[in-house]
């Protein structure tokens, strides 16, 4: 069963939504437990040939004269960063679903998955040429990410500049989820992504676009297009400009595909009408690019 | 044409059309919050907003165009009013039984429309059934009665042989619409006819047409017996000689006149007609001279001057009127003249000076002026609209 973004938004509870989406996604997929050595104790089991003798709990052997292997869940040392574009264009709304709402659900669902495997997670919002850390990579980050996501408002613009972002200079192994529409004045988003590329970093970009933005499928007639990031308005007959628009957007998208064809960078383009779990599934089942 | 004419006021309602279009185009488009602005073509920012000055100017020009157009159209309609509103129309009818029978329908219509129908002349019981006159004006006094009529329009029914017409043209304050009945005079007698040798006769009928009577049945006051007519010419160019011959042949064929070329030339005593291109030095009695290629008043009644030469390239030969012109002269020479007493519409009209005609001639420059103004406004409108793609 798939869920339209609108239904999920109406729930108005990101935690629940994240769970629903993730659960729906796992329908039919086997979720095997990953057991190994870790700090947190999970269970004892009898030693069997093949088990690492190092894992035998010798203290227990001293007490009970039994070879028991101490097990715990494997701890992930993956550092996940959620980068959310907070510019005004994220407020673009189609059929009641705004781009930001969609991003919130998508990010929350990913965070839920990360939470389940104990990943370190942090949340950053890109706004007005600055990258603001909303949630640091500490404990209980899942709840904090949800809280921050719920209160997130998109406004202003990213601006055509290349800010120096020290947060991105870490040498840690990390996974970056970047949510944006990638609408740019020059090539500022592309430059930002290119600057983030590193050996230790995997970058997953979710480009979320509306149907009208992709196909210009507005009904015939006069429309007043109001820029979400400035006060500029343009009044146009859709019929007059449809062909030119479609041409330039497809040009933009092919350019983007070409520019972002980088090692360890994956771009997922989704429509606001796509069910969120489909996007998640597309990401999780896609093959990791060989670097 | 008054500016407050209801028709024009109705026409000015059309001014609403550009106004509505203007308001419609001012209507804001459906509002859409849009992120992908970069991909929208950067077109006409000019037309984005508001009651711009040039928009209003354009609107005014367009309104003015419509007003002008309605003025011009109203003018056209007023010349031929599509409906007479509350005009007082008087029908003046000559009391002549044939005329009344001919216009019975019109008079019935007038009566049903409640318009006055006055008779002129003696009341005659024979046509009382056809038209019941409101009033009879006696014939001698009708001219003076015309001046006293209080009407916006007078319909005058006259027969073409009417004796009622005034001697001098009279001025009248209202327009007159003439209805002329081409009356055939029952007492018409052919004055003269040409007695052709083959027991046929040629005469001019009541309607002014040259008629060939094959049975020789029409009685005429004077019979002119006519025998074979000999003719000669002194043309040397073969094409012109051919033209003369074919012209003679066509006259022969149509009217059975017998014409023959006198071989002996001008010296023959038999010849009656002589075609030449030089003024004859001596005019023989009983010879009719047709002088081609000369203009002016002929020096002798027996000389008929024709402006064109009988060459195939001449205008008269081309339009085929040359035989007619020759025949006219010939008939006149033979004593057959038009004697019709019929009056044409133009002749009857000439007896009355009515305001409708003078008014029409006065309003002509105004109409032209309006038309030129309309063209100018159209030019202005286009020059304003095209650069802005409105």
B380 compared with B209, residue with greater pLDDT: B380
Does a structural domain hold residue B275?
yes
Nearest to A135 by CA among A84, A175, A170: A84
Average pLDDT value for residue range B156-173? 76
Residues B194 and B301 in one domain: yes
Render the burial of B240-251: b for 16+ CB within 10 Å, e for the rest.
Answer: beebbeebbebb
Lowest mean pLDDT across A10-24, A54-68, A113-127, A166-180: A10-24
Query: What pLDDT score was predicted for residue B5?
Result: 67
Residues B241 and B326 in one domain: yes
> In this complex, do A236 and B40 lie within 8 Å of one another by their Cβ atoms?
yes
Going by pLDDT thresholds of 50, 70 and 90, the confidence category of residue A122 is: very high
Residues B13 and B62 in one domain: yes
Does a structural domain hold residue B296?
yes
CB B109 within 8 A of CB B83: no
> Average pLDDT over chain B, rounded to whole?
75
Q: Which chain A residues contact residue B49 at CB under 8 A? A: 235
> In this complex, do A248 and B33 lie within 8 Å of one another by their Cβ atoms?
no
Going by pLDDT thresholds of 50, 70 and 90, the confidence category of residue B338 is: low
Residues B62 and B103 in one domain: no
Q: Residue B58 is part of which domain span?
A: 6-25+49-83+358-388
Lowest mean pLDDT across A78-82, A238-242, B80-84: B80-84
Query: What pLDDT score was predicted for residue A291?
Result: 44
Query: What pLDDT score was predicted for residue A82?
Result: 93
Does a structural domain hold residue B103?
yes
Query: What pLDDT score was predicted for residue B82?
Result: 47
Q: Which of A235, A249, A272 to mutate to test the interface with B (most CBs of B within 10 A)?
A: A235
Residues B240 and B266 in one domain: yes
Query: What pLDDT score was predicted for residue A83?
Result: 93
Residues B229 and B316 in one domain: yes
Residues B196 and B178 in one domain: no
Instruction: Compare CB distances from A249 to B39, B42, B49 and report the shortest one's residue.
Output: B39
* Number of domains, chain B: 3
Does a structural domain hold residue B34?
no
Q: Which chain B residues contact residue A181 at CB under 8 A? A: 35-36
Does a structural domain hold residue B15?
yes
Residue B284 has pLDDT above 80, yes or no: no
Does a structural domain hold residue B39?
no
Q: Which chain B residues contact residue A227 at CB under 8 A? A: 34-35, 37
Residues B207 and B294 in one domain: yes
Residues B93 and B67 in one domain: no
Lowest mean pLDDT across B16-20, B315-319, B333-337: B333-337
Does a structural domain hold residue B97?
yes
| A185 interface with B at CB cutoff 8 Å | yes
Render the burial of A16-52: b for 16+ CB within 10 Å, e for the rest.
Answer: ebbebbbebbeeeeeeeeeeeebeeeeeeeebeeeee
Residues B165 and B284 in one domain: no
Nearest to B224 by CA among B196, B259, B190, B257: B196
B19 compared with B220, residue with greater pLDDT: B19
Average pLDDT value for residue range B273-297? 81
Query: What pLDDT score was predicted for residue B13?
Result: 83
B24 compared with A252, residue with greater pLDDT: A252
Q: Which domains does chain A have, with CATH numbers?
A: 5-29+76-285 (3.40.50.410), 35-73 (no CATH)
Query: What pLDDT score was predicted for residue B358?
Result: 44
Q: Which chain B residues contact residue A240 at CB under 8 A? A: 41, 43
| A226 interface with B at CB cutoff 8 Å | yes
CA distance to A27, B199, B202, B335, per residue, from B214 (Å) = 118, 7, 9, 20
| A95 interface with B at CB cutoff 8 Å | no
B131 compared with A276, residue with greater pLDDT: A276
Residue B166 has pLDDT above 80, yes or no: no
Does a structural domain hold residue B113?
yes
Residue B131 has pLDDT above 80, yes or no: no
Q: CATH number for the domain including B296?
A: 3.40.50
A126 compared with A34, residue with greater pLDDT: A126
| Contacts A–B by Cβ distance under 8 A | 84
Residues B322 and B277 in one domain: yes
Nearest to B261 by CA among B291, B289, B233: B233
Residues B197 and B321 in one domain: yes
Highest-confidence segment of B40-44, B203-207, B301-305? B301-305
Query: In chain B, pLDDT over 90 holds for what percent of residues?
Result: 1
């Amino acid at each position: 069963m798939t869920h339209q973004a609108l239904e999920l938004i109406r729930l108005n509870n990101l935690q629940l939504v994240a769970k629903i989406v993730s659960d729906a996604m796992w329908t039919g997929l086997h979720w095997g437990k990953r057991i190994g050595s870790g700090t947190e104790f999970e269970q004892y089991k009898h030693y069997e040939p093949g088990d690492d003798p190092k894992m035998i709990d010798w203290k227990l052997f001293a007490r009970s004269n039994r070879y028991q292997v101490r097990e715990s869940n494997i701890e992930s040392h993956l550092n996940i960063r959620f980068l959310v574009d907070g510019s005004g264009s994220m407020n673009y709304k189609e059929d009641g679903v705004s781009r930001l709402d969609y991003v919130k659900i998508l990010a929350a669902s990913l965070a839920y998955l990360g939470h389940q495997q104990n990943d370190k997670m942090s949340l950053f919002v890109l706004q007005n040429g600055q990258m603001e850390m909303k949630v640091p990579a500490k404990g209980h980050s899942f709840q904090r990410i949800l809280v921050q996501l719920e209160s997130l408002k998109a406004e202003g613009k990213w601006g055509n500049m290349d800010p120096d972002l020290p947060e991105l200079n870490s040498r840690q192994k990390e996974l970056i989820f970047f949510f944006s529409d990638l609408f740019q004045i020059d090539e500022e988003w592309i430059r930002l992504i290119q600057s983030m590329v590193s050996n230790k970093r995997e970058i997953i970009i979710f480009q979320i676009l509306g149907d009208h933005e992709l196909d210009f499928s507005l009904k015939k007639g006069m429309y007043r297009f109001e820029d979400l990031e400035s006060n500029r308005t343009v009044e146009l007959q859709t019929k007059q400009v449809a062909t030119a628009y479609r041409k330039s957007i497809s040009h933009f998208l092919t350019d983007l595909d070409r520019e972002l064809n980088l090692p360890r960078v994956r771009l997922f383009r989704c429509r606001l009408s796509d069910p969120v779990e489909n996007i998640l599934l597309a990401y999780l089942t896609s093959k990791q690019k060989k670097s | 044409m008054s500016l407050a004419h209801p028709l024009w006021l109705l026409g000015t309602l059309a001014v609403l059309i550009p106004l509505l279009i203007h308001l419609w185009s001012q209507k804001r488009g459906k509002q859409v919050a849009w992120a992908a602005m970069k991909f929208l073509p950067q077109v006409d920012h000019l037309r984005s907003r508001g009651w711009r000055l040039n928009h209003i100017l354009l609107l005014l020009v367009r309104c003015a165009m419509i007003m002008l157009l309605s003025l011009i159209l109203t003018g056209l309609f007023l010349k031929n009013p599509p409906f007479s509103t509350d005009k007082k129309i008087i029908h003046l009818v000559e009391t002549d039984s044939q005329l009344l029978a001919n216009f019975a329908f019109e008079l019935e219509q007038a009566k049903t429309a409640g318009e006055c129908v006055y008779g002129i002349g003696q009341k005659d019981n024979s046509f009382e059934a056809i038209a019941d006159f409101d009033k009879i004006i006696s014939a001698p006094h009708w001219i003076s009665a015309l001046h006293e009529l209080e009407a916006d329009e007078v319909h005058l029914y006259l027969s073409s042989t009417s004796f009622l017409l005034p001697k001098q043209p009279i001025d009248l304050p209202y327009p007159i619409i003439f209805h002329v009945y081409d009356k055939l005079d029952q007492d018409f007698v052919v004055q003269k006819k040409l007695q052709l040798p083959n027991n046929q006769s040629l005469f001019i009928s009541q309607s002014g047409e040259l008629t060939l009577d094959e049975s020789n049945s029409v009685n005429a006051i004077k019979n002119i017996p006519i025998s074979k007519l000999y003719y000669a010419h002194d043309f040397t160019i073969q094409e012109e000689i051919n033209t003369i011959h074919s012209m003679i042949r066509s006259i022969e064929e149509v009217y059975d006149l017998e014409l023959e070329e006198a071989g002996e030339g001008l010296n023959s005593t038999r010849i009656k007609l002589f075609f030449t291109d030089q003024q004859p030095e001596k005019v023989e009695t009983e010879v009719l001279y047709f002088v081609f290629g000369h203009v002016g008043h002929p020096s002798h009644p027996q000389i008929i001057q024709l402006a064109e030469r009988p060459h195939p390239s001449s205008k008269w030969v081309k339009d085929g009127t040359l035989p007619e012109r020759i025949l006219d002269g010939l008939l006149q020479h033979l004593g057959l003249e038009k004697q019709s007493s019929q009056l044409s519409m133009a002749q009857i009209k000439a007896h009355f000076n009515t305001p409708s005609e003078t008014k029409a001639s006065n309003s002509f420059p105004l109409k032209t002026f309006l038309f030129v103004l309309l063209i100018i406004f159209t030019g202005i409108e286009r020059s304003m609209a095209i650069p802005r793609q409105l």
